[in-house]
Amino acid sequence: MDHAFDPTDRAFDALQSDDAETAIERLSRSLESTPEDGRALCLRSRAYLATGQSERALADADRAIDLEPGNAEAHIERGNALVEQSEYGNAIGAYDRAIELDPENARAYHNRASAYVVFGDANRVMSDYDRAIELDPEDATARYKRGSALALAGRHEAAIESFGRAIDLDPDRSQAYNARGISTNEVSGPATALDDYRRAIQCNRENADAYYNRAIAHAQLGNVAESDADLDRAIALEDGYENAYLKRGNAYAEQGSYALAIRDFERASERSPNDPVPRFNAGNAHRARGDTDAAIDAYHRTLANAARLPDHGCRVHGALADLYCDRNRQEEYERHQFRYAVLSVLQDDRWTGITAAARLLETTESMTPRRRNAAALTVAGNRLGDRAGGYAPPAVHRCEATATQLLDSCDTLSEENRILYEIAMNDGPNGERTGGRRERGAFDREKAIDHDDWEALYGLAVDALRSEMRVYRRK
């Protein structure tokens, strides 16, 4: 038979040329006359997948398996379609079956390794890539992916070697140079990584990743003009680099170039005005430069979207408390120190929060509600330390008498403070809440932060400490 005119072979040629649409058209015509052609079904499954049609790809692979259960390639195509649908466990099962049928199939090991990456199973990932390379030493893609897995595991020197072998086999693989540059930067610094980024760009002038990584390397080296040019190019090529200014600002800040860092953080804020992170980082950079007025302004602007921060603004309040304390602005210090204490407790960083409350007592002498709340947290912290084996930070021990005296001198206590005080003094029945207020476990913390409802947030912190005391009491 003359294979030059075989429609399946012609479709395969189109697929190899990245013309999946033509391959689908040719294979569909072929399958009209030979609907039980397993090879054509497998190829069309691959072509469908290349055009983002994973359901059709899976249907063709399943049909090929129905026709030929022992066809390893059909099981590989089925695994590939399942990966596209994020069904990684089932995909691994399909690759397992392909390997059972054909233990020498390098592609099955290669693709199973890629699926194992999702589960973070480094040993299986490396074992499968090693086996794939053993079976097909010329597979540059397997060597590149193996290097990526090594880099992800922090094994950068081994990753550099694997990327190098991929480049030897495929000298025009732009992303291999880029990836090797990243690992080289980790091992020996940005100056040595620049050449790999340059070569990545030579291979592909549209490689936004390489421009971005080279921009960061130039920033680390203090090459401002070069970094600006590369970052502008990366952003022009890829919208996904909307956080590029933020990341480069972090790089400048790490090397102490705070003015440049602030410039980038401001650009990041302009691009993403509702993202509080650039403003917070700008505050840190201003503070590091000694410009406390600008730092305070940046931190306050951060608080407008504090609920979007992972810690809900805990560190922002801590920074503001420190700055206001240095300026002897008692009311502002007390407000932010108390909020720092409450949010720390709610972040499960109990001792940081209780210590912050104790230091508030040491720093101010007012009889404000916030100071009474701090006193209640302090006495509760001491009791929690007793129940946890005698541990409590020194500041908490140091302020216990002050906290107890302050609470004893109050004619009335809020419900939350009375609960903490009674538990701490062991007056409540078995340390249980004596009041009738319902716990606020389902309370919307982010909404409370947005609405500046610190009474509600303090109630949540009290509930958290009470729950922890119960745990230690049971022990």
Which residues are within 8 A (CB) of 5 and not within 5 positions of it... i.e. 6 or more apart? none
* Residue 136 tokens, joined: 């097909």
Residue 394 tokens read as 């020194």
Using CA atoms, how far apart are residues 272 and 270, in angstroms rounded to an integer? 6
Spatial separation of the C-alpha atoms in residues 205 and 237, rounded to whole Å? 10
| SS3 call for 313 | coil
Q: How many CB atoms lie within 10 A of CB 450?
A: 15
Backbone dihedral angles phi then psi of residue 144, each to the nearest 5 degrees: -65, -45
Burial zone of 398 (CB within 10 Å; 0-12 exposed, 13-18 middle, 19+ buried): middle
Tokens 């407000």, located at residue: 335
Q: Which residues contact 235 (CB under 8 A, 6 or more apart)?
A: 241, 242, 244
For the chain, how many residues are written? 475
* Full-model pTM: 0.69
pLDDT at 466: 81
How many CA atoms are closer than 13 Å to the CA of 470, on its beta-carbon side?
Answer: 9
How far is it, in rounded angstroms, from Cα 195 to Cα 174?
12
Q: Under the phi-then-psi rule, with left for phi > 0, alpha for psi from -120 to 50, and beta for the rest, what region is 413? A: beta
Nearest to 270 by CA among 250, 234, 242: 242
The predicted pLDDT at position 176 comes to 97
Q: In angstroms, rounded to a whole number, what is the distance separating the alpha carbons of residues 113 and 95? A: 10
Question: What is the amino acid identity at position 224?
Answer: V
| Mean pLDDT per 10-residue segment, the chain (475 residues) | 58 74 87 90 91 94 95 96 95 97 96 91 91 95 94 93 97 97 96 97 96 94 93 86 87 92 94 94 97 97 92 96 95 95 92 93 83 88 76 84 85 76 57 45 68 84 80 54
Count other C-beta atoms under 10 Å from residue 32's C-beta.
8
Q: What is the pLDDT of residue 283?
A: 97
